[in-house]
Amino acid sequence: MQRRDFLITALCSVGLPQVGVADTKPRILATTGMLGDLAQHLCQDFALVENLIEVGLDPHSFRPSQSDIRKLVNADLIIANGMGLEQQMEPLLEKLAKRAPLYFAGQILDSGALLPYSQDFPDRHDPHVWMDIDLWSRILAGIASALVEQFPIQTDAISRNLSDYKSKLRSLNAYANEVLGTVPVDQRILITAHDAFQYFGHAYGFEVMGVQGISTDSEASILRISDIVRTIVKRKIPAIFVETSVSDRNIRAILEGVRAEGGQVVLGGSLYSDSMGSPGTYEGTYVGMMDHNITTIARSLGGQAPKAGFEQKLTGVAL
Ligand SMILES: [Zn+2]
């Protein structure tokens, strides 16, 4: 049986939602941690918010298990990124959208705000929109509307929470512009494991080179690696970055390649791209993940950032 058929059969066999006596709060299931963070801030304690894709897993390649499918079917609202991020789950999400409340968060953004996926796919858009804090704030507003529609009795609380978190994200965006603006112009080039940072580069004025493409499903070519090695040596780029949810193999090959060419580059740190940090840590929140990325990038590329970042809560810059 093909994977797609398996998923659809599994979905049909899971049956109707089973709500336990203790489960009186609505259950909201977000695919990624970044979406779950927005839903959690908007709902506070009136709903139980859970993330489907666990910390450190890659949403491009994530395939739901039977118990994941059960969670999806039992949710009172599913929030997915859409735009091809949850690539392996697309057939299942499309199927679910016909029988369960499912909100695709990317739909609030008009195409003028979106970046292209690649030249090979002119009709598709880059799904990594959380990397631009202003765009993510618009996604927050879209999720708030979806929550109001689903839970109208909570309208006042959602509106209040929306206003509070929007204001926090506005401050974070101001911090990003200020701190990243201290990076010397000729060093504003961000080299990472895969192309998750195009929106970041677009918003904060950085050229971005991902070793792998927008999705992690294609292997980086030798040609791409040697092209990046040449760029680093020629432009004297001081640091490159690994990502917590993507293998560091290619980035390490680049480090070796640059050194073999007589260039100097260091590992600037580990960035949170498609997954946040561990639950319960500062980096396990959207604000913490972005603070970590902004602060790490600025420091590694010759800029200046306050000792402990935006909120004085950074738990350490992973190398
Ligand atoms: Zn990605």
Note the pLDDT tens digit of each residue in 251-288: 999 999 999 999 999 999 999 999 999 999 999 999 99
pTM as predicted = 0.89
What mean pLDDT do residues 136-161 have? Answer: 98
Distances in Å between the alpha carbon of 285 and those of 29, 86, 156, 279? Answer: 16, 20, 24, 8
Region 216-220 average pLDDT:
68
Domain boundaries, the chain: 3-175, 182-300
Q: Please give the pLDDT value at position 74.
A: 94
Determine the distance separating the centroid of ligand 1 and the alpha carbon of 292, expressed in angstroms.
18
Length of the chain, in residues: 319
The predicted pLDDT at position 316 comes to 56
Please tell me the least confidently modeled range out of 174-178, 276-280, 306-310.
306-310
Ligand 1 center from residue 141 Cα (angstroms): 23
Ligand 1 centroid–CA 315 distance in Å is: 24
CB 44 within 8 A of CB 26: no
Q: Is the pLDDT of residue 319 over 50?
A: no
The pLDDT, as a whole number, for residue 296 is 96
Amino acid identity at 236: K
Take residue 110 and report the two structure tokens written for it.
């008009």
Cα of 271 from ligand 1 centre, angstroms: 12
Q: CATH fold of 182-300, please?
A: Rossmann fold (3.40.50)
Q: How far is the CA of 213 from the centre of ligand 1 (A)?
A: 8
How far apart are the CA of 273 and the centre of ligand 1, in A? 7
Looking at 9-18, 62-71, 72-81, 147-156, which range is the least confident one? 9-18
pLDDT, the chain, mean: 89
Phi then psi for 118, rounded to 5 degrees?
A: -170, 170
Distance 131 CA to ligand 1 centre (A): 11
pLDDT band at residue 173 under the 50/70/90 scheme: very high
Per-residue confidence at 9, pLDDT binned at 50, 70, 90? Answer: very low
Least confident of 11-20, 131-140, 179-188: 11-20
Same fold, 3-175 and 182-300: yes
pLDDT digits (tens, 9 = 90+) for 27-47: 999 999 999 999 999 999 999
CATH code of the domain made up of 3-175: 3.40.50.1980
Q: How many CB atoms neighbour CB 315 within 10 A? A: 15
Return the amino acid letter for 206: F
CA of 160 to the centre of ligand 1 (A): 32
Q: Separation of 156 CA from ligand 1 center, angstroms?
A: 35
> What band does 223 get if pLDDT is binned at 50, 70 and 90?
confident
* CA distances (Å), origin 240, targets 3, 58, 183, 213, 296: 37, 20, 14, 16, 11
Question: 23 CA to middle of ligand 1, Å?
Answer: 34
Residue 13 has pLDDT above 50, yes or no: no
Ligand 1 center from residue 229 Cα (angstroms): 22
| Residue 307 clears pLDDT 90, i.e. is over it | no
46 in Cβ contact with 154 (< 8 Å): yes
> pLDDT at residue 1 above 50?
no
When mean pLDDT is compared across 59-68, 210-219, 256-265, 280-289, the lowest value belongs to: 210-219
DSSP letter string, 228-296: HHHHHHHHT--EEEEETTS-SHHHHHHHHHHHHTT---EEEEEE-SSS---TTSGGGSHHHHHHHHHHH
Mean pLDDT confidence for 122-149 = 96
Give the Å distance between the CA of 200 and the centre of ligand 1: 13
Ligand 1 centroid, distance to 21 Cα (angstroms): 39
192 Cα–ligand 1 center, Å: 11
What is the reported pLDDT for 315? 66
What would the pLDDT profile of 146-158 be if each residue is shown by its tens digit? 999 999 999 999 9
CA of 124 to the centre of ligand 1 (A): 14
> Would the pLDDT of 112 be above 80?
yes
Total Cβ atoms within 10 A of residue 177 = 15
**Predicted local distance difference test score (pLDDT) of residue 5:** 46
